[in-house]
Homo-oligomer: A and B are copies of this chain.
């Protein structure tokens, strides 16, 4: 009897460990935490102000990989990044999700009693409403970035102000956490994609990751009644599970849509190949955006 080798766990960090990984935001952003989860503590990151610049940096070879948020369990998809996935023609090679924990952070010497203003991104301020209801003496001040608000406080050192950001931001800028986990809703996760250039080595097919594979693709249907239903039949009739579907407007064809779809399976598996072939018969356009180990 042959012994079956235990399949290797896929490690997306196949290349040079010193490569740069692009993300959007300031150092200490949740994207940096996602990069750590995906590529390990020694990951070398490079922040960019805008998502488009992150995609451009990867496309041009300025960095070796990029980590971008794609959806949040409270706010929904990051639609801008769906559009960039289509336009930049990069490859999704991994995914992970990060629990969004908001902490009240201040420069050393500032205690909670002294705080009268809290700076953060408007979304983060809005996710900590219970904290502000309990502290009516504190004013909310919108700022362009969560981690950026910690950076600014450490530079300007006001003695009555704090920020809301990740624990990693406090650590990076040398600030103190006054209160941990002040977010209203703990079911707050953001899903991130790890991207590489399409010519970079794809994950090895034979090594089965712990939670199986996921494939992301984008397609347009013919503008006919029932066309989305028929497109989904390519997956449903083969018992392939969809985990996400997202519609985006199709430029130049008002009221028609692109569909972004994630399903559980590996593109090189014969069943998935048949599903994609079937979808190809029904769709006007189809492109696989990546096939990657399903994240936690």
Contact = CB atoms under 8 A, between A and B. Distances in A.
A200 interface: no
Interface in A48-106: 71-77, 79
A249 B71 CA distance: 9
Interface stretch (A9-17, A33-41, A221-229): A221-229
A245 B227 CA distance: 12
Contacts of A76: 79, 247-249
Interface in A234-261: 235-236, 239-249, 251-255, 257
Size bracket of the A interface: 35 or more
B229 A233 contact: yes
Nearest to A252: B187
Contacts of A71: 249
Contacts of A283: none
A232 interface: yes
Contacts of A252: 185, 187
Contacts of A242: 225, 228-229
Contacts of A254: 73, 187, 189
A176 to B, nearest CB: 30
A278 to B, nearest CB: 13
Nearest to A250: B73
B248 A247 contact: no
Contacts of A72: 249
A225 B187 CA distance: 23
A63 to B, nearest CB: 25
A187 to B, nearest CB: 5
Contacts of A74: 249, 251
Interface in A248-291: 248-249, 251-255, 257
B249 A225 contact: no
Interface in A182-206: 185, 187, 189, 191
A74 B255 CA distance: 10
B229 A73 contact: no
Nearest to A254: B73
A222 B226 CA distance: 21
A266 B189 CA distance: 38
Given A187-B252, A229-B229, 16 more contacts: A73-B249, A73-B251, A74-B249, A75-B79, A75-B249, A76-B247, A76-B249, A187-B254, A191-B255, A225-B239, A228-B232, A228-B245, A232-B232, A243-B255, A244-B257, A245-B245
A236 B221 CA distance: 14
B251 A239 contact: no
Contact of A229 (B79, B232, B246, B257): B232
B185 A251 contact: yes
